[in-house]
Amino acid sequence: MKSSNTTSLTKVFPVLFGFFIMGFCDLVGISVTYAKDMFGWTETEAGFLPSMVFFWFLVLSVPSAMLTNKIGRKNTVMLSMAFTFLGMLIPFFVFDEITCYIAFALLGIGNTILQVSLNPLLTNVVKGDKLTSSLTAGQFIKAISSFLGPIVAGFCSSYLGGWEKMFPIYAVITLISSLWLYFTNIKEDTKEERSLSFTRIFSLLGDSKILLLFLGILCIVGLDVGMNTVTPKLLMERAGLEKEAAGYGTSWYFAARTLGTLVGAFLLAKVAGKSYFRVNMLVVLLGLLGLFIVTTQPLILTMVCIIAFAASSIFAVIYGMALQLYPQKANEISGLMITGVAGGAVIPPLMGISADGFGSQTGSLFVIGICVVYLLFCSFFIKTDKGGD
């Protein structure tokens, strides 16, 4: 038994480390600030940089699922690593405005393929009730990567001569992850023999449970990206902080999210995912209601951290519910659900329009509030088995 567990862990660890690479997509947040100053970009030009990452989730998620079904999950993960490695390597040789855009476009392509294929690959090394907690552990590792991004960029800027020196560091980490996974023997399920198609994948939305969960993914990602966007603005608008100081609000958010995924990984191994979903979304709602009225820096950061902590594992819970509904369709489910990550590109513009309409960031909070209300609805009304609750 001990030998079997050891063998299992040697397969789980290289897959879980892939979630660290998945966290590279959050590098674009801190990179916008540095790139805008370096290249003298306008707000519009700087705002286009995140689109280089999130756009690909909309257009490549389903094709990535089809590719996964054709060449296998591990091979597709390896392909995603190749795109990521290339994107991180290019700035080492030439770094200007064009290569900056190209680097993040390749990062977005690689990250899309990775998110579609890595989660199903985890189902090949983790079975049964441990899947949701393992997915949450993966999100914890991803959160660590996201948290370290601003720190690594700041270190490179202060001590290595420029923030762009972080790219080769991440290229090396990607290479290590690729080699570790490549030399790991993982037996994949071969149940999905029929070729996938756009029609077959999107037909899953005809299932009310899948539709609810898909919209849940869109909302939880929109909530996450939206909170990252609005936190510094709230600190500037209400607490009077300067831009540089307000930027640390994002670090608080990532820190709380990292802690939340760690706690979630343990709790989800012991409690039902649906109960966890309900309780945590109630906490998120309370935190958001508090954010509508607080005006001081400590209270704003407190509410932000409450929201980040409680919402941190919800993506994994929703994703896990979808996979457990139809485990034999893991590749199709993954492609469809990861398409919902495009919520990170949809919700922030709506927040901007609402903020302009209200004349303050309260408008942004209303858009986030719609996401929270839907997720709370989803947590109470989604049925994940034949018996109902």
Give the helix, strand, coil percentages of the chain, each rounded to 5.
85, 0, 15
Alpha carbon of 55 to those of 118, 239, 321: distances in Å?
Answer: 19, 33, 25
Residue 45 token pair: 């030009």
Domains of the chain in start order, with CATH, are 1-186 (1.20.1250.20), 197-389 (1.20.1250.20)
Full-model pTM: 0.77
SS3 category, 14: helix
Residue pair 311/220 in contact by the 8 Å Cβ criterion: yes
DSSP tag of 388: B
pLDDT value of position 196: 65
Taking only the tens place, the pLDDT of each residue in 87-117 is 999 999 999 999 999 999 999 999 999 988 9
Does position 164 have pLDDT exceeding 70, yes or no? yes
Taking only the tens place, the pLDDT of each residue in 295-313 is 999 999 999 999 999 999 9
Taking only the tens place, the pLDDT of each residue in 18-67 is 999 999 988 877 777 678 778 987 755 766 777 788 889 888 988 888 88
